[in-house]
A and B are shown apart, each in its own frame.
Chain A
Amino acid sequence: MNHDSTAGSTSRSRSALAGRKRLSRLKSYIPLYLMLAPALIYVLINNYLPMGGLVLAFKQFNAGKGIFGSDWNHFANFDFLLKNKNLPIFLRNTICYNLAFIAVNLIVGVFLALMITEIRGKKMRQFSQSIILFPFVVSIVIVSYMVRGFLDYNNGMFNAVIKAFGGAPVNWYMEKKYWPGILVFVSTWKGVGYGSLLYIAALLGIDPSLYEAAAISGASRIQQIRYISLPHLIPTCVTVSLLSVGHIFNSDFGLFYQVPQNSGILSPVTQTIDTFVYKAMATNVGMSAAASFFQSAGGFLLILLFNGLARRVSRENALF
């Protein structure tokens, strides 16, 4: 065989073959990209276009000209926002309520998880897990009706009880001092099951031989919880909390909008960035956009920061 004479043509035909192969392989990817297309197009419309729309914060919005056609006014919207005397109040509310929710949800969630895993009866354990998650599936509008059932001035159950004992009825929707407590309670009532189930999963993942060994060496059940259960929960607790702190500029809009039932008097203790943005949207789009921009940008930095921290604690629980 004469290798030399055929080498050139084979390599040429080989590369042509490889090219055709690559082409046909690329062709075979077309259906795969088509499958991705609906989700990609949707995300572009629903998520990425609004990201671009954040330029609104630096514009004088004009409905006729649209988001991208409106004229720039640079930092005028931010000036307006910073001059708003309520800004420190709703910023404080957003951050403080979120910190309170995180702390209370953590403590109550861990406590309930420890209680539920202490229960040996299978039925009762299943029932408990179903019950604590139940409020999670109710819409916040309906929750606000339930809260009203307790707090309504004329018909509320609390006032009925107070009156039955000869007290003076309380106008709950007019009294600021009760609301931090009420909102923390409602938030915990509705949301604690979610975290608690994560903690239960973590507790059930602990190697049972650890408890057996501890029991043999004479550790009481309380000691076992203190020295085995709790340390094993720490990674989950820390990551759940860190991820929540990453969302500290985002309040639970429904909770703050629905549950206080739009009572203006309560707004110093119930107004958050989200409810402010929503209400300002009707009167001053620019200022509302500026607040919204601050929320998105600040939220982005916080999530990066706290996810980074969460990742150090436990990789699998971090977002990315």
Chain B
Amino acid sequence: MIRSKQQRRLELFAYAVMIIVAVMILYPFLLLFMSSLTDEVTLSLNGYSVIPKKFSLKAYVYIWDARDTIFRAYAVTICVTIVGTLLNVLISALAAYPLSLQRLPGKSVLSFIFLFTMLFNGGMVSTYMTYTTIFHIKNTYLALLVPGLLFSPVNCIIIRTYFRTSVPEELYDAAKIDGASEWKTFFHVALPMSVPIFVTIGIFAGLAYWNDWFNGMLYVTDRTKFSIQQVLNIMVSNIQYLSQFAGTGRFVYGDVPSVSVRMAIAFVAFLPILCLYPFLQKYFRSGIALGAVKG
């Protein structure tokens, strides 16, 4: 098809728009990163800038000195994210398999139990009270793990639909003739054929765990159990939180580069996502297309 002049002009306009949008989206990230590399005195004189007058790695040196706290929070986040993501996918896939079978008695009622959670919920107060007064998860690692364990119960339904459409019925029949148990059929037929949906659901679950600061804020006050997002959350209101490591390492009180350190910790917390995003973005996109998982 021959493209009209107008079409080419429109495309040029679209390029211009997208370049402006890309700058608007990326600039704050750059500002965050460059501020973390800026000398503290320059920061207070000239403010945050993407081209600092004077570079300094002090913030990262300070993070290294405070590694007992920062790396510990990092490790908590990593462990919770890995365990939580795996459990998330396993639990939803296990539930999705029986729901995908036409012959299961009561499957529509069971599906409804999951779907209903999208329509109605107990809200913040009731959930908090349930977890603290009945299950006593306050100040345990479970507080970071359990509230997001099925971060969207509807994922069971999405995986169910995927099983139905992408695993041919004949394979189940063949497995049955071979005398495979339901567990075997699940692990050896349904699971291997549905890897893409697990990756998609897993990535959304993993992202939710990595970025979660809310459950930490609600349930965890014990500093040894802080996740990295919670350290960031605390630093917003409590600048002293940063200075607590001064005096132990290379820094004395009052010399802590507190402004750039905040930015440096934020950058460090974001770094893994930045590195993984190029490889994972197609799964984010397919997840959105499934209508699955609105943050």
Shortest C-beta distance, B140 to chain A (Å), equals 15
A194 with B288: CB separation less than 8 A: yes
B134 with A49: CB separation less than 8 A: yes
B95 with A35: CB separation less than 8 A: yes
B24 with A53: CB separation less than 8 A: no
CA distance A3 to B50 in the complex (A): 97
Partner of B28, one of A51, A137, A150: A150
Interface positions, chain A 144-171, Cβ under 8 Å from B, are: 144-147, 149-150, 152, 154-157, 159-160
- The interface residues of chain B, by DSSP majority, are classed as helix
B147 with A46: CB separation less than 8 A: yes
Q: Knowing A39-B156, A138-B270 touch, does A129 contact B22 (C-beta < 8 A)?
A: no
Q: Knowing A32-B98, A47-B117, A319-B118 touch, does A133 contact B6 (C-beta < 8 A)?
A: no
Map CB proximity to A onto B10-53 as digits: 1 under 8 Å, 0 otherwise: 11011101100110111011011001000000011011110000
Q: Knowing A112-B21, A197-B285 touch, does A137 contact B277 (C-beta < 8 A)?
A: yes
Stretch of A60-68, A82-90, A93-101 that contacts chain B = A60-68
B130 with A201: CB separation less than 8 A: no
Map CB proximity to A onto B167-210 as digits: 1 under 8 Å, 0 otherwise: 00000000000000111001000000000000000000001001
B122 with A194: CB separation less than 8 A: no
Q: Is B295 an interface residue (CB 8 A)?
A: yes
Partner of B25, one of A135, A253, A292, A317: A135
Q: Is A132 an interface residue (CB 8 A)?
A: yes
19 A-B pairs with CB atoms under 8 Å apart are: A28-B182, A35-B182, A42-B91, A46-B127, A51-B120, A67-B133, A67-B134, A115-B14, A119-B18, A128-B22, A133-B288, A139-B213, A145-B232, A145-B266, A189-B25, A221-B10, A285-B129, A292-B123, A319-B119
Shortest C-beta distance, A67 to chain B (Å), equals 5
Map CB proximity to B onto A27-67 as digits: 1 under 8 Å, 0 otherwise: 01101110110111011011111111110100001010011
Of the listed residues B11, B99, B135, the one surrounded by the most CB atoms of chain A closer than 10 A to its CB is B11
Map CB proximity to A onto B81-118 as digits: 1 under 8 Å, 0 otherwise: 00000000001101101110100110000100111011
CA distance A39 to B13 in the complex (A): 50
Sorting the interface of chain B by its residue count into under 10, 10 to 19, 20 to 34 or 35 or more gives 35 or more
Determine the chain B residues whose CB is within 8 A of the CB of A285 once the complex forms: 125, 129
Partner of B43, one of A54, A150, A155: A155
Q: Is B150 an interface residue (CB 8 A)?
A: yes
Q: Is B211 an interface residue (CB 8 A)?
A: yes
B25 with A32: CB separation less than 8 A: no
Partner of B150, one of A39, A132, A135, A198: A39
Determine the chain A residues whose CB is within 8 A of the CB of B101 once the complex forms: 32
A149 with B4: CB separation less than 8 A: no
B130 with A67: CB separation less than 8 A: yes
Q: Knowing A53-B130, A137-B207 touch, does A40 contact B181 (C-beta < 8 A)?
A: no
B288 with A35: CB separation less than 8 A: no
Q: Is B254 an interface residue (CB 8 A)?
A: no
